[in-house]
Structure 1
Amino acid sequence: MSELVEPDSHGARNSLMAWMPMTDAATAKEAQLKFLSHVKDSVGAAMDEVGAEHEIIYDKNGTLVIQFIKSDWQCPAYQAGVTKAEDLCRVRAKIFEPHTAASPAFITGTEEHRYIFSSGHGRKYQRLNLLISDDSTVPQDKLYATISKHLPEWTYLYLAPGKVAMEDGEVIGFPYILNEGEAKLFVIPKA
């Protein structure tokens, strides 16, 4: 019975990972707020780029929800008494205070002490997800890539298998990471 209330494992859920330079913030709380601001700006820039109207509908305690409206994608504007919440299209992000540690060398070329926003915790992990209706035709893969393109270069968006649909509705069955809008696949070359 407990497995019904347990969250997905870290490989089965979309998440954000980031290694913010220590010079960007004086404290972990300031780093959290600054990273959340980066996410907010990136989502806004992505929505502008794809021609979607958008507005912040919740921004409190590390949680950000931005509604977007685009008729081509069947993402309607809210109308009281007409539109159901499940018909709306939103981006939801949750950012927790980071810890500090040495970053992996692939981030800067050398190990360096940074604020680390990790995704390993069962419930307190950084995340960014599209919440859209079943009737929507949002090209999720392209929208995630556009948001990623506007995030700082030290930010990585992990997309889990079965959690992202393409424009034709086909679900992507493998995991991948986006960094600066570019997909990084989990491919190991043959020796």
Structure 2
Amino acid sequence: MKKIGQMILISIAVALTGCASTQKPITYNPEKSRALNLVNAAGIGSTLKDTKLPQDTVNTLMKSDAADLSFALSGFGAPLPGLSGLNTAGLNLLATVLAPEDAAARNSIFGWMPEDFAQGKDPKKAFMNELEKAFEHALADRGFEVIKHYSNDKSILVLSFINDKLKCPSPETITNNQKFCSLTLYVDDYELENPPSFIGKETYPSFHFSAGNINNTRFRFKKNKNSNFNEFEIVESASSYLPDWAFIYLAPKMIEMDNKQKNPVPIVFEKGKALYFVTTE
């Protein structure tokens, strides 16, 4: 009985902390976009597909400001050179095929943290520290005063932010029927495995924070009806402050841009650069 009890405890420990995978690293598929390669490796991309576009259109996408492009694709703002109505329809079609329960229909954060990066600390706490610093920098860059609200659950952190011009009041001054502006960060469990061959080195084991789980590592904005800030630009900026092994996935129509318009297409942010689900014809 004692041995059985020990085996149960070991099984629970493995389930909670993950174990090193012996499988070969996922390799890059050159026929797919980098965005699709990344989300497939992260466990998101079961229903996401690339849109084939002419080379000059793809070049336009890569050179365009991500916020301007998303605003144009949503039907607002001036159309971008080289991006026809048919091209736009093809990109927007990605947003119509996702069921609400699909992982691709949720915003998420994923990555492969090198084992030595945590320096012996709890990997979840180490990842949360990186997310905290990145989003705090992004908010400060846009003139927000940031207040941190730590939870007893170390996997959750709330950042409230204040900017009177953008109608984000201090939590201490709001009335009962108002909401203060905030960002909640959640860090999910991880598994120790080899990272994809196109993420850093193949040899070291990494803590994989997947995006395929229901309780994935994620973020959520809250604001009152009068608040006027661009969530898209905050996330884009935060990505630039993250380590090169961490990525942010934006699901279509799940984050606000200017004038409260929603992002029309899925995007992966890598070090502040927008990656689109497109390949050349």
Matched residues in 2 for 1:116 and 1:86: separation? 38
- 1:20 lines up with 2:117 in the alignment: no
Of 146-155 and 11-20, the range deviating more from structure 2: 146-155
Task: Identify which of 101, 114, 125 aligns with 2:216.
Answer: 125
Tell me: CA distance 1:85–1:131, structure 2 relative to 1, closer, same or farther (3 Å).
farther
Aligned to 2:254: 163
* Structure-2 change in CA distance of 1:85 and 1:64 (3 Å): farther
Query: Which one has a larger percent helix, Structure 1 or Structure 2?
Result: 2
Cα 1:74/1:35, change in 2 over 3 Å: same
Q: What CA distance in whole angstroms lies between the structure 2 residues aligned with 1:24 and 1:188?
A: 34
| Aligned mates of 2:232, 2:267 — CA distance in 1 | 11
CA distance in 2, matches of 1:9, 1:85: 33
RMSD: 2.0
User: 1 CA distance for matches of 2:175 and 2:211?
Assistant: 34
Structure 1 residues 117 and 189 mapped into 2: Cα distance closer, same or farther (>3 Å)? same
Partner-residue secondary structure (3-state), 2:161: strand
Which residue number in structure 2 is paired with residue 60 of structure 1? 152
Q: 2:65 maps to which residue?
A: none
Equivalent position amino acid for 1:43 in 2:
F
Among candidates 244, 266, 279, match of residue 175 of structure 1: 266
Q: For residues 23-73 of structure 1, what are the alpha-carbon distances to aligned partners after superposition, in whole Å with 9 as ceiling and x for unaligned?
A: 11256x711111111111112211221110011123332100010011222
Q: Which runs of 4+ in 1 moved over 4 A?
A: none
Residue aligned with 2:198, SS:
helix
Structure 2 equivalent of residue 135 of structure 1 = 226
Q: Distance in 2 between matches of 1:85 and 1:45?
A: 29
Deviation at 1:188, TM superposition (A): 2.0
Out of 176, 185, 188, which is 1:93 matched to? 185
TM-score, with length taken from structure 1: 0.86
Q: Partners of 1:86 and 1:116 in 2: how far apart?
A: 38
- Report sequence identity in percent: 25
Equivalent pairs counted in the alignment come to 181
More strand by share: 1
Alignment check: 8 A CA contact 2:249 2:267 kept: yes
Alpha-carbon displacement from aligned partner over 1:120-175 (angstroms, at most 9, x marks no partner): 112x2101222222322111111111111111111111111111121232211111
When normalised by structure 2's length, the TM-score is 0.60
Return closer, same or farther for 1:85/1:102 CA change in 2, 3 Å cut-off.
farther
Kindly name which structure, 1 or 2, has the bigger radius of gyration based on alpha carbons: 2
Whether the 8 Å CA contact 2:115–2:204 is kept in 1: the answer is no
Tell whether the 8 Å contact from 1:42 to 1:147 is kept in structure 2 after alignment.
yes
Alignment check: 8 A CA contact 2:107 2:218 kept = yes
Counterpart of 2:195?
Answer: 103
Counterpart CA distance in 2 for 1:103 and 1:39 is: 20
1:97: how far off?
3.0
Alpha-carbon distance change, 26 to 131 in structure 1, aligned in 2, over 3 angstroms: same
